[in-house]
Amino acid sequence: MYFNNINEPNTYDAIVVGSGISGGWAAKELCEKGMKTLVLERGHDFKHVTDYKTATMAPWEFPHLKRATRQMRREQSVQKRTGYTVTEAHGYLFVKDTEHPYIEHKRFDWMRGYHTGGRSILWGKQSYRLSPMDFEANAKEGIGTPWPINYDEIAPWYSYVERFAGISGSKEGLPQLPDGDFQPPMDLNIVEKDVKKAVESKWSGRKMIIGRAAHLTAPTEEQTSLGRSQCQYRNLCMRGCPFGAYFSSQAATLPAAARTGNMTLQTHAIVHSIIIDDDKGRAKGVRVIDEITGQTTEYFAKVIFLCASALPSTAILMSSTSKRYANGMDESGSLGRYLMDHHLGVGANGVFETHLDKTTYGRRPNGVYVPRYRNLHEPATDGYLRGYGYQGGASRQGWSRDIEGFGVDFKKQYTSFGAWEMGLGGFGECLPYYENKVELSKTRKDRWGLPLLEFDAEFKDNEKKMRIDMMNDAAEMLEAAGAKNITTNNSTPSIGLGIHEMGTARMGTSPKNSVLNKWNQVWGTPNVFCTDGAFMTSAGCQNPSLTYMAFTARAADYAVSEIKKGNL
C-alpha cells in the first residue's frame, strides 16, 4: 500500500496539473470526494468577474476601437492566424508567442491561453457527444488503435457533466449524435427555420438543428448556487461572462471545488515533469518551475491528474524519465504520435431576400448545427472514411455589406438593413496518422529551461477528399433553400487552426499500443491520469470539450474509488 503523509509540507491527496476545461473538472470531482487537492496553473490568475476587465466595455471605450495594434500583432504573430484572436477585447487572454515559441516543421497553428481557466474562458461552447460509431470506427476500419471503451460506458458520464455544466439543446434521436441531458434549446431564426425545412425535406438523412451549447437557458438550483445566471445574448463570451452564463472553470467547476474547502489553487506554477518511483511503480509528485522566479519546487500526492491541455500534458509525460521510462512515460512508441485536429475553413454562403420585414433581436452565441450524415453505415461509400458536421447561421446583413456610392444616399443604405445571409462551415474528422507527431526539441529551450515542442503534422488525403463534399454539400443545401449569389470556399488549413488538438497520448487496449488505459491511467503508473485532449484515440467530427469533461469526471471517480480500495 502506498500513501503520503499529508502533514508533510507540499504534500496533498491529489495534484491537478492545469485549471482549464478538464483541470477544473478534476479539481471539482476530487475536492467534492474529499481529496485535498493542489491545482497547479502555469499562468496568471484570472478571477471570475473581477478580472473580466473588458467584459462590459463598448467599442469606443477601447483605445483602438478593438483593433489590434502593430505591437500586439508582433507579439502574437501565431495567435493572430485565426483572424479573430488578437483584438483589444480579448487578445490579452491568448499567449504572447514571443514568450512561448515552438518549432513548426510543417505549419502548426497553436492557440493557447495560459491563465486560470485556460481556454475554458475562450472556447466556442459547442458541446456534442461522441457516438457509438465514433468509438467503433478505428476497430472496424483498422485505423489507429481501437478505443478500449465503448459508448455505453461513458454515456452516464456525459449526462453527469451535462447536468452540472448546463448544456442547452434539442433532442433529435440521431444515432450519430446521441442526445444529452439538455436545458431548453436556443431558437433558430426565421431564415434558419426555412433552410432547415428545405434541407430536411430534400434529404431524408440530413438534419439541421440548433447548436448544443454550454449556455444556461434554464439555470438549475446547483448552477444558481454557484452564482450563475442565464445567457443574456450579448455574444461577448471570450471576454469572460459576468453572468457566469456559459460553462468555464471560473463560473462553474473552480467555485464548486473551492467551496468544499479542499482546493489549493497555485498560479504561476509550470509543471516540468512527474517524479517517478520505479520500485513502487507509482508517481510521487511533480516538479514545478515558478513562472516568475524560475525556482523549482517539488509537490507530492497520492494521485496526479494531467489536464494541462493535450500537447503540454504530452510534453510532461515525455519529460518524465526514470530508469524504467528512459524516453518518457510510454513503452508503446505512441507518445507524441497520432496528433489530430478538426479541419475547417470550408463551406458556402448565400443570400436570401425573404422575410425582409424581420430581423433578429439579441446576439445569439450559437448557431445551426448539421450533424454528420456521411458514411453512417459500414462500409464507407463516399470515397473517404468518416465524416463531418457543419456550424453556421443566418443573419440580416447590415452596416458592413458592400454598398456602392457616397453621400446621403449611401448613408441611407449603410444605416438600413440588407438582405439575409447564411453560411455553413464544415468541421471534418481527421484520421489518426502515426506520422503526425510532436516531439521535444533536443537543442532549443524556452526561458524556463523547458524544451520547445517540435511539430510535424498535416491534414492528408482522406481529409482533402472529404473537403470536396464539405464544400459542395453546403452549397447545394443553401441552393435547395433558395439562396442566391452562393459562394463556396475550401481553404488549406494547417493542423491546429481548429483549436481542437487531440491525441499524442492516446488510450488503448494495451501498453504496447497506447499510453493510457481505459481509465485514462498511464500504463504502468496507475496513479497518473491524463484526461485532456491527449487521450483521444480518434477525433470524431464533434467538438471535443464535452468528451474531455465526461472522461475527467469518470477517471476522477475511478481514482478515488481505487484509493479507497487501497489500490493507489
Partner 1 sequence: MAGVGLLLPNAVLARTGEMLEGTPPKRRFFNGTEKRIVAGFAECVVPRTDTPGAADAGVPGWVEVLVEDCYDFDEQIYFREGLMEIDQAARDRFGKRFAGLTYDQQVLLLTEIERSDIALSKADPNAQPSFVRAFKDLVKFVYVSTERGANEAFSYVAIPGRFDGAATVKPDTKVEAPTF
CB of 245 to partner 1, least distance (A): 11
CB of 234 to partner 1, least distance (A): 6
Q: In this chain, which of 405, 447, 449, 491 binds partner 1, going by CB under 8 A? A: 405
Question: Which residue type sits at 172?
Answer: E
Angle at 342 between CA 436 and CA 172, to 5 degrees: 140
**By C-alpha distance, which of 548, 455, 9 is closest to 247?**
548
Min CB(128)–partner 1 separation in Å = 21
**DSSP class per residue in 114-130:** -BTTGGGTTS--B----
Q: Which of 228, 227, 185 is nearest to 210 (CA)?
A: 185
Q: How far is the CB of 73 from partner 1 (least distance, A)?
A: 8
Q: Which of 322, 417, 419, 479 binds partner 1 (CB under 8 A)?
A: 417
Stretch that binds partner 1, among 23-31, 397-405, 444-452, 554-562 (CB under 8 A): 397-405
158 vs 130: CA distance, rounded Å: 9
How near is the Cβ of 124 to partner 1 at its closest, in Å? 13
Q: Which of 1, 58, 292, 326 binds partner 1 (CB under 8 A)?
A: 58
In the list 410, 435, 448, 487, the residue contacting partner 1 (rule: CB under 8 A) is 410
Among residues 26, 68, 256, 311, the one that binds partner 1 under rule CB under 8 A: 68
- Answer for which of 82, 267, 322, 360 binds partner 1 (CB under 8 A) is 360
Backbone φ, ψ for residue 347 (5° rounding): 160, -150
Question: Which range touches partner 1 (CB under 8 A), out of 60-68, 104-112, 151-159, 425-433?
Answer: 60-68
Smallest distance, Å, CB 2 to partner 1?
A: 51
From 66, 268, 464, 465, residue interacting with partner 1 (rule: CB under 8 A): 66
Give me the residues paired with residue 396 across strands. 420
Residue whose cell numbers read 469526471: 553
Q: Can residue 406 be called a binding residue for partner 1 (CB under 8 A)? A: yes
> Which of 184, 227, 398, 449: binder of partner 1 (CB under 8 A)?
398
- The residue among 197 and 564 lying less far from partner 1, judged by its C-beta, is 197
Q: In this structure, are residues 469 and 374 in contact, taking their beta carbons and an 8 Å threshold?
A: yes
Is 404 a binder of partner 1 (CB under 8 A)?
yes
Going by their DSSP bridges, the two strands 525-530 and 296-306 should be labelled as parallel
Beta partners for residue 502, in sequence order: 340
Cα separation, 186 vs 212, in Å, equals 9
Residue 65 in contact with partner 1, rule: CB under 8 A: yes
- Give me the residue label for grid cell 507527431: 437
- Helix or strand (DSSP H, E) at 516: none
> Per CB under 8 A, which region of 115-123, 130-138, 350-358, 476-484 contacts partner 1?
350-358
Q: Does 184 bind partner 1 (CB under 8 A)?
A: no
Ranges within 226-255 binding partner 1 (CB under 8 A):
232-236
Query: Is 359 a residue that touches partner 1 (CB under 8 A)?
Result: yes
CA 406 – CA 424 distance, rounded (Å) = 32
- Among the listed residues 6, 47, 53, 399, the single contact to partner 1 using CB under 8 A: 399
Return the number of other C-beta atoms located less than 10 Å from residue 399's C-beta: 11
The Cα–Cα gap between 200 and 177 comes to 16
3-class DSSP state for residue 451? Answer: strand
Return the range that interacts with partner 1 (CB under 8 A); candidates 158-166, 401-409, 478-486, 533-541: 401-409
φ and ψ at residue 305, rounded to 5 degrees: -110, 115
How big is the site for partner 1, counted in residues (CB under 8 A)? 51
Contact call for residue 59 and partner 1 (CB under 8 A): yes
The Cα 439–Cα 128 span in angstroms is: 30
Which grid cell sits at 453? 515542442
Of 140, 411, 444, 564, which lies in the binding site for partner 1, with binding defined by CB under 8 A? 411
Give the residue, chosen from 79, 189, 517, 525, that forms a contact with partner 1 under the rule CB under 8 A.
189
In the complex, the smallest distance separating the C-beta of residue 492 from partner 1, rounded to whole angstroms, is 19
Q: Minimum Å distance from CB 254 to partner 1?
A: 25
CA dist., res. 81 & res. 372, Å (int): 27
Q: Which residues ranging from 85 to 104 are in contact with partner 1 (CB under 8 A)?
A: 89
Instruction: Quote the CA–CA distance of 108 and 111 in Å, as a whole number.
Output: 10
83 binds partner 1 (CB under 8 A): no
Cβ 383 to partner 1 shortest distance, Å: 31
Q: Which of 355, 419, 446, 511 is the binder for partner 1 (CB under 8 A)? A: 355
Q: Are 244 and 48 in contact (CB under 8 A)?
A: yes
Among 364, 467, 506, 518, binds partner 1 (CB under 8 A): 364
Q: Could you tell me the smallest distance in angstroms from the CB atom of residue 167 to partner 1? A: 17
| Nearer Cβ to partner 1 (286/422) | 422
Q: Which stretch binds partner 1 (CB under 8 A): 35-43, 355-363, 504-512, 534-542?
A: 355-363
Query: With respect to partner 1, which residue has the nearer C-beta, 81 or 343?
Result: 81
Residues 253, 545: Cα–Cα separation, whole Å? 14
CA angle 140, 141, 144 (to 5 degrees): 105
Please identify which residue in the block is written with the cell numbers 430536411.
200
CB closer to partner 1 out of 213 and 549: 213
Task: Please give the full DSSP string across 198-210, using - where no structure is assigned.
Answer: HHHHH-TT---EE
- CA 561 to CA 95: how far, in whole Å? 37
Give the residue with the Cβ less far from partner 1, 66 or 464.
66
Q: Name the H helices within 166-325.
A: 190-202, 221-225, 254-258, 310-319
Let me know: does 123 contact 250? Beta carbons within 8 Å: no
- The smaller minimum CB distance to partner 1, of residues 96 and 401, is found at 401
Among 205, 407, 461, 566, binds partner 1 (CB under 8 A): 407
Give CA–CA dist 212/391, Å, rounded.
Answer: 11
CB 347 within 8 Å of CB 471: yes
Residues that bind partner 1 (CB under 8 A): 56, 58-60, 63-70, 73, 89, 186-190, 192-193, 232-236, 355-364, 396, 398-400, 404-408, 410-411, 414-417
